[in-house]
């Protein structure tokens, strides 16, 4: 009995020793918003709903903004729920970009939620999220 519970403990702890939790995600979001309210809308998060390989998942964040000096997106932040760290990237924009758009490729270690947050020059925070199913996870082991 003792041996069994010990083994079960070892198995559950080892592979996911480092994993962001919904709480870590909340904390990471709070770090950029400073507790300001998040509003759904304006942000479009383009990510495939089902990915075969979590090592390179294409992601595009678009924000509906005129990108003028008076009204523009200052930053785009992307977070995830279950990678070892909740942060994915922070990108800083200005009216010089003309369009509030960032595209990149990310790693996903598990089936999880991805959150994008846009920060405007007026201090508003807009958000969008997407659920992604990952069949082959990233960062599990070195297979080379």
Partner 1 sequence: MANMLVNAPRTANKGQIVEIKALIMHVMETGFRPGTTGRIIPRNIIEDFTATWNGREIFRMKMSPAIAANPFVSFSAVATESGTIAFRWSGDEGFLAEHQVAITVT
105 part of the interface to partner 1, by CB under 8 A: yes
Q: Is 32 helix (H, G, I), strand (E, B) or coil?
A: helix
Size of the site for partner 1 (CB under 8 A): 35
Q: Please write down the HEC assignment for all residues of 33-62.
A: HCCCCEEECCEEEECCCEEEECCCEEEEEE
Task: Give residues 52-91 in contact with partner 1 (rule: CB under 8 A).
Answer: 55-57, 60, 80, 83-85, 87-91
11 part of the interface to partner 1, by CB under 8 A: no
Considering only residues 9, 22, 98, 123, which one is a binding residue for partner 1 as defined by CB under 8 A?
98
Q: Are 95 and 72 in contact (CB under 8 A)?
A: yes
104 part of the interface to partner 1, by CB under 8 A: yes
Q: Which residue matches tokens 């996870």?
A: 137
State how far the Cα of 1 lies from the Cα of 24, in Å rounded to an integer: 34
121 part of the interface to partner 1, by CB under 8 A: no
CA-angle at 79, arms to 43 and 128, nearest 5° = 20
Closest CB to partner 1 among residues 91, 133: 91
Interface residue list for partner 1 (CB under 8 A): 18, 55-57, 60, 80, 83-85, 87-99, 101-108, 138-142
């Amino acid at each position: 009995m003792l041996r069994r519970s010990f083994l079960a403990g070892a198995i559950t702890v080892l592979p996911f020793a480092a994993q962001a939790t919904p709480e870590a995600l909340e904390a990471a979001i709070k770090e950029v918003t400073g507790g300001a309210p998040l509003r759904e809308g304006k942000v479009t998060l383009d990510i495939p709903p089902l990915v075969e390989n979590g090592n390179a998942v294409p992601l595009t964040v678009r924000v509906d903004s005129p990108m003028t000096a008076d009204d523009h997106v200052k930053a785009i932040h992307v977070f995830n729920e279950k990678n070892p760290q909740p942060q994915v990237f922070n990108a800083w924009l200005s009216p010089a970009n003309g369009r509030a758009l960032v595209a990149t490729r990310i790693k996903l270690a598990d089936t999880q939620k991805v959150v994008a947050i846009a920060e405007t020059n007026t201090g508003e925070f807009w958000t969008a999220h997407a659920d992604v199913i990952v069949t082959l996870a990233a960062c599990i082991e070195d297979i080379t």
